[in-house]
Chain A
Amino acid sequence: MNAATARIERTTSAYRAGLTLLIAAACYEAVARSGAFPAALLPTLPKVASTLWALILDGTMLEHAGYTMYRVLFGLVLAVAVALPLGILMGRFRPVENFFLPLASALMPIPSLAWVPVFILWFGLGNTVAILIVFYAALFPMLLNTWSGVRAVNPLWLRAAGAMGADERALFWKVIIPGASPFIITGLRQAFLRAWIAVVGAEMLAASDWGLGWVIFDAKEFLNADVMLAALAVIGAIGFLFERLVFGSIERATVMRWGMVRTAKG
């Protein structure tokens, strides 16, 4: 396929994608304006946009988003701080693996939200519960991916590095860590996705006064569907930005530069 046809096809795709979104928005707008459903339940798009704008301008939305980010990042950092060393140890030392792997496989199938009521009883409503739930949700993807990454390092590389006189420290930093990095980054991504889901649920259930999940849940009481949709848009935008910008650039700066994975090219 030559470049010109590819470009034409890409333009057609972009055009069709835009058209789809427009049509979807128009359909929604038509249904909302038809009055078949109460306006409080199905607000029109301009109303949602103006609510979002107003909430951003008076700073409440930013504060909610700030609280949510604080909880997610705190929990995520905790999870990485525990899971990364533990995963590496599990991958390198058999006894550590033998001890922690069964525990991890038993705890993993329990959804993080199932712990919410237990944690509420133990720690009360508020930040602690949300952070711990995020920690729990993010821990296992990180742990298992690190572990399999370390185990997946090609033994040939280890032996080659050893033969060329690398000591334990060099082996660890120059061979094992770069070799395991695609898995570790995948783990981090999955951990963030899980954490992002968990924080919204935890905020709804263990409500404190701030947080995007709490806004959505609280808006239900007052039938403020516009606030809900506005908060949904913010949640989606933050999740999307993180996925694209943060993890995309981490990946480019590490594994792609080291040639561990190739970029998706047609």
Chain B
Amino acid sequence: MSAPVRPHYREAMSDLAPAASPTVVAAASARRGESRLKVVARTAFPFLVVALAWEVTAHLGIFPRKLFPPLEEVAAALVRLTADGVLPHHVLDTLVRLLAGFALAAVAGVAIGFAMGRSRRAEDVFLPLVSIGAPIPGLAYAPLFLLWFGLGNMTAVLLVAFVSAFPIIFNTWTGVKAVKDIWVRSAQAMGADNRRLLHHVILPGALPYVLTGLRLGLAQAWRILVGVEMLAAVSWGLGWMIFGAREFLNTDVMLAGVVVIGAIGLALEKLVFQRLEQYTVVRWGMMS
């Protein structure tokens, strides 16, 4: 007798189904055993082509230079903003907001997900609420949150937490349900009490899913935060920086901001989560 999987589950969880992740992307090139130099050259080539095309278009003057700046101007804006400390301030505020919101979501999401996975009653109570909240795009709540909590930090952090909690809840819940029944029963047969069962069987068993949930939650948080910063009129933050630059037609500042946003997104994925995965689930042999 395995725990019945609810029919809702598959539909609500399209994020879990076979999906490509940036990890796959990175692995693809490593697998072929080419020399490092060749891989670098091959990876750099498309960027060079695109950069060249951009430069040519910018210098031909088809579009106004203010709107379509050449790359050296974008780079200069990046250096200038970094040197006078404006960009680091924006980045710092954005990251603090992201972490605060995400930490709230992680704690609440994992707790709710665990409760839903372990107790039928909690599942019945939370599932309808979560299923109603999840399909509404997070940003749609933004004006409502603005109305309730006012402009500024509070709204941004709460909205980020609210939005990124959903994937965390769904994945934790699935993970706890996916723990093999036979592991639980054999642990019980060997005399594990509830606490040890949770600690040594269910937690490690559910962890790959929980990590997936956290990763999706963080990605979601990052996507939403940029938008929220544009709407919530915070005084510092990358989203605000690029949105504010629109007023003065500072396309170079905008593009520099977009580059930084992309770099942070990539770093969150590569440095934080891949590292975390290496140390936990891969080491425990839950995932290769």
Contact = CB atoms under 8 A, between A and B. Distances in A.
> Does more than half of chain B's interface fall in helix, strand or loop, or is it mixed?
helix
Interface string A189-227: 110010011001100110000001100110110010100
Contact of A197 (B44, B223, B245): B223
Interface in B256-284: 257-258, 261-266, 268-269
Interface stretch (B103-111, B123-131, B181-189, B193-201): B123-131
A217 B138 contact: no
A196 B137 contact: yes
A169 interface: no
A205 B243 contact: yes
Contact of B258 (A100, A118, A193): A118
A169 B147 CA distance: 58
Contacts of A183: 18-20
> Does more than half of chain A's interface fall in helix, strand or loop, or is it mixed?
helix
Contact of A1 (B1, B125, B132): B1
B28 interface: yes
B137 A100 contact: no
B246 A228 contact: no
B246 A120 contact: yes
Contacts of B144: 216, 225, 228-229, 232
Contacts of A217: 142-143, 231
B4 A266 contact: yes
Contact of B137 (A6, A149, A235, A248): A235
Interface stretch (B7-15, B54-62, B203-211): B7-15
Given A100-B46, A266-B5, A117 B132 contact: no
Interface stretch (A158-166, A170-178, A239-247): A239-247
A47 interface: no
Interface of B: 1-5, 7, 9-11, 14-15, 17-22, 24-26, 28-29, 42-47, 49-50, 63, 67-68, 120-121, 123-129, 132, 135-144, 146-148, 222-224, 226-227, 230-231, 239, 242-243, 245-246, 249, 251, 254-255, 257-258, 261-266, 268-269
Give 7 nearest A-B pairs by CB, closest first. A109-B265, A266-B4, A16-B124, A144-B20, A197-B137, A110-B262, A113-B227
